[in-house]
Every structure is written in C-alpha cells, then in structure tokens.
Structure 1
Amino acid sequence: MTIGVLLVDDEQLVRTGLRTILESEPDLAVVGEAADGTEVPGLVSRTRPEVVLMDVRMPTVDGIRATEHLMSTMDAPPKVVVVTTFENDDYVYDALRAGASGFLLKRSRPEEIVAAVRTVTAGDSLLFPAAIRRLAARHGTGRGPGGLREAGLTEREEQVLRLMTTGMSNVEIAGELFLGVETVKTHVGNLLAKLGARDRTQAVIRAYESGFVSPDESGA
C-alpha cells in the first residue's frame, strides 16, 4: 500500500524538503501541496490523502481551523499531523483538540518524519507526554465537571488511560498491567468509544481537560 501525503505549509522551502524526504521512501507519495489552509478542503477531496502534514501557523486559514473543518465535514477525514517550529506552541494544543493525531517539529530528522506518517496511518498517535503536559497546564485544563465519571469507564479502562497519558504503547501497557496485548487493544477501543475520542491523542486531551489526570502528576 502506498500512503498518500498532502503537504500544507506557507513556506515553499519546507514543502520541498518534506517532499524530498517522503518520496525517497517506496511506500510514501506526496499527492499534493498547499500554501494555506484555504486550499485544504478542495485538495483533500480531490487527492484523498491518508495523511496531511499541516503547518500550524499560516496567514489566512491556520492549521487549527483547517483541521477543524476536515474533522467536522468529512465522514472519514485523513489523519492530520501538525508541523510546528516550537513544541510549546499553544497552537499545537488547539490543533490536537481540533482532531490532529499528533505533531512534528520542523527540525525533526527525516527518519522521524517518515515514521510519523507511518505511525498515524497505522492508527496510532504521536504522543509527546511532556510537551502535552506542559501545554495542558498552560491552557488551564482540569476544571471539567466530574472528571470522566459520565463516560462510565471501568477500573481497568481507567488504568489503561492513565498509562496512555504517559505515552506508553499497547505493548508497554500490557507489560505494566500483566495483560495480553490484544486485551489492551480491546480496552483502548472501548475507552475511545466511551469518550467519543477519535484516537489516543484525543483520549489523552480528554483526560487532562476533565481533570482525570493533572498536568502536575509525576510521570504523566
């Protein structure tokens, strides 16, 4: 399977660099480029990419609004990875809340960029626990009513979610809880459904915003 990628960045040099990196891989193909979020809906409809690498800051329509539009108007939107210069960019947190599956720094190594595209295509999320914790703290999260009680998570699902906020993979969670990997996958799928979360990133954001976990908790 060839993974189609749409590049969205207002800097031609950045787009050219990303194209060179991605097209050096046999399973990746750049299906289009855009210089602003205004171009994204039309390009996504025409090219049907699996992944959009989205600059978070653009002059007319930024990556947050473009991501929100894709998530709210498409039945099966592509995975969005926002690209930013600084990991503490507040725009990153807003983009994650809008539905992005993770973020990349523009200084990321080529192998990291390639791995990110493959990771989100496989249905996983790009979690950077320390960065998300700092952003959550600055955004004043943790004030939601009742934590996640209304979601009706089981005790085991709560344990899995807490470990997800630390960035653990299913394999690592399985080892920590002495469970089978398939069992962990089932718990993850169930808690995503209960939270109404598209992926692990959205679940982690919900965990912070509801107060289920605190940005001050060690190891989160």
Structure 2
Amino acid sequence: MTDEAQDRPAPIRVALSNDYEIALLGLAQMLARHPDQVQVVDLTTLTTMPREADVILFDTFGRLPDGDQKLRKVVAENTGKVVVYSWEEYPEEAALQHGAVGYLHKGLNAAQLVAAIVALHDGNPPRDADGDDDPVLTWPGQALGLSQRESEMLSFITRGLTNEEIARRSYLSINTVKTYIRTAYRKIHVSSRSQAVAWGYRNGFDSTDDTGV
C-alpha cells in the first residue's frame, strides 16, 4: 500500500432513511458517484439502522414536519449524526427541534450534497452551493409527471390522512392542499379519493412507518 493510500481518509458511512425504499434509490445513485468520499451502507425504512453509520440522511418524502416522531426515534436510536434532506415545506427549524444536527436542501446536485455531508460529518457548516450542474431529483411517481408535492399528497392520502390533517400538519393552506390533490388526480387519471388510495397501493405509496406520519 502506498503512503498516499494510507493517508486517504476512509469514506463516510451513510445510511439513507425514509418510509419508501423507492424514494431512496435515486438518492443512493447520486451518492454512488463519489465512492471516495461517501459509502452508502443502508437504505432502510427502519428507525434503528441495521449497520453502523457515521451520517444518517433522513429523506422527508411523505412526512409532515409537525410532531415527526419517526425522526425523533431515528435520532434517539442511533449514534450517527442525523441530517434532514428536504424541501422548504419541511422547515429547517422543525428538523433541528426534532434533534437533527443539520438540514440539506433537495436542490443540491450530487457533488454539492456529498460536500455538505462531509462538512456536517466533520462538524463544519456546509458551504453555499455554487455548482452549475442541475440537481438530480427523484421521487415516486416522477416518471408519471407527478411533482414532488403531488406525489407526497398521494402518499398522505394513501396513509389515510384527511385534507384538513395534511394542511394543519404541513403548514399549508387547505386550498393549497386541494390544488395539489386535484392536479395529482388528473395526472394519475382518477376522480375520487377511494380510487386514489387504490392507485397508491398499486404503485408503492403505502408506507412502512408505524410511528405516525
């Protein structure tokens, strides 16, 4: 082994956490582009990581920020640093209140995301994104033309939440929620909530989470 190889730090072990394995596959592909810096050791829907991880990247797809008990359990049950990976609709303040050590935006491209994970692992604030590459966006239903928010609304409906519950717990207005749901229905060619729930179960939108959405 060369001195250079001996001096090179080992990749940071990263576990990816979410209620939907399909939501984690694209994220894993992003991180796999940088094997010298990060190593994905788990894609899991569990709260306790099957393998020891240095950083746990908690993807908030299909989760609401108000009282996120799963995030609290992930923080409590693991030694790795928990970092929330989300959009503005799941505010950074909520992530930190639930015990996360950091918050990363889903608009980051692969190189920016890895650099931010490394910085948080080392106890440093992430640098402002300055890359020109487009972010890689992945979520269930994207191939069908669903936006991230439309896809999340379908996940909430499949889990049995009412429009009022979604609005209250996501800090969105009821009219905004209804608009997302209407446009999602058009894209998946359904006209009722029962049809949307059936579509959700057929297409992997039923959640593995048992801690409450």
Normalized against structure 2, the TM-score is what?
0.47
Structure with greater helix percent = 1
TM-score, scaled relative to structure 1: 0.45
Structure ranking higher on relative contact order (CA contacts 8 Å, 6+ apart): 2
